[in-house]
Amino acid sequence: MTLFQDFGITQDLVIILAIDLTIAIILLTFMRYLQGWTIKVDSRVELSEKDNFAFGISTAGAIAGLGIVLTGAITGEAAHSYLVEAVGMTAYGLFGLILIKLGRYLHDKIALNEFNKSELILKGNISVAIVDASAAIATAIIIRSVLLWAEDLTLDTFIAIFSAFAISQLMLVLLTRFREHRYAKRNQNASMQEALVQGHKAVAIRHSGYMLAMALSFNAASHFIIYSPQAYLANIAGWMVFSVIMLIALTLLIKLVKKLVMVNINLAEEVEKQHNIGVATVELALSVAIALILTSLMA
């Protein structure tokens, strides 16, 4: 005990850490089963009997997303009592889980509205599953940044979190529409969503990189917005303005860096026509790298 005390580890801290870890494990387990329940299938059958890789990728995205959200719920500061800690962790965790599911629902119905995601994943469509998992992780990154931005555990807190979440979903839709426009322009008005339905993995990987990068840039915007519990309109306006600015800056930077790093490589030709997964993965890495660097500079 003396050694633990030398490092500032007390019995109360150990108990609180145990509470947080227990709740986190329960929520992660719940998310795995929720993946099957929401589309009325047995997740065990899909994963281990049918060996449905697409379902596995989609489930992995949901679980990873929830894990990211839970890191935002765990602030590192101990609550005044074990009960308050348990309630706070559970409330933030469940709220994050609900927002992840809501984000995926909105992404399916608005952003990728030309096909039935669940049906395609159950049929084993890897491309759709990659985009679905990335959308869940992107949404989770955004939720985490908002959880860290907001303070306390009040109704105003949840309103502020939901407001920022709503803006983030709008940004994801705008990003998708922009990428669809770019794809159609280069491919005789072909549909990017139809390419995903046809199993175009390279396009799925590249688009996933843009979504993850946008989520990280959204996190950068949180450093410029002062949290004010009851300033509902100011919070929404702040997130909207800074999110648009960061998205434009990110898009321009990614375009510039890709021209320099991938010089003498026709990215559109390689990814869209030759289905070059390797080039698409490098594009994803560059998008995420630029977003991480931009976020660090803004912080």
* pLDDT at position 4 over 60: no
Residue ranges of domains in the chain: 2-298
Query: What's the pLDDT score for residue 1?
Result: 47
Instruction: Give the residue among 197, 220, 198, 55 at the shortest CA–CA distance from 141.
Output: 220
- pTM over the 0.75 mark: yes
Q: Which residue in the block uniquely carries the two structure tokens 């800056």?
A: 249
Locus of tokens 């915007």: 221
Mean pLDDT score of the chain: 86
Q: What is the pLDDT of residue 160?
A: 78
Does the pLDDT value for residue 196 go beyond 60?
A: yes
Q: For position 153, what pLDDT does the model report?
A: 64
Q: Region 176-184: what's the mean pLDDT?
A: 93
Tokens of 7: 């490092």
pLDDT confidence of residue 88: 78
For the cut 70, the answer to whether the pLDDT of residue 9 exceeds it is: no
What's the rounded Cα separation, in Å, for the pair 152 and 79?
11
Inform me whether the pLDDT recorded for 13 exceeds 90. no
Q: Report the pLDDT value the prediction gives residue 299, as an integer from 0 to 100.
A: 65
Please tell me the predicted confidence (pLDDT) of residue 152. Answer: 66
Instruction: Give yes or no for residue 267 having a pLDDT over 70.
Output: yes
Give tens-digit pLDDT for 222-261.
Answer: 777 777 767 778 778 888 888 888 888 888 999 899 999 9
Q: Is the pLDDT of residue 78 over 60?
A: no
What are 115-120's contacts with CB under 8 Å, separation 24+?
115/193, 115/196, 115/197, 118/39, 120/54, 120/197
161-190 mean pLDDT = 89
Write down the residue that tokens 């990280």 correspond to: 216
Rounded mean pLDDT, 157-162 = 80
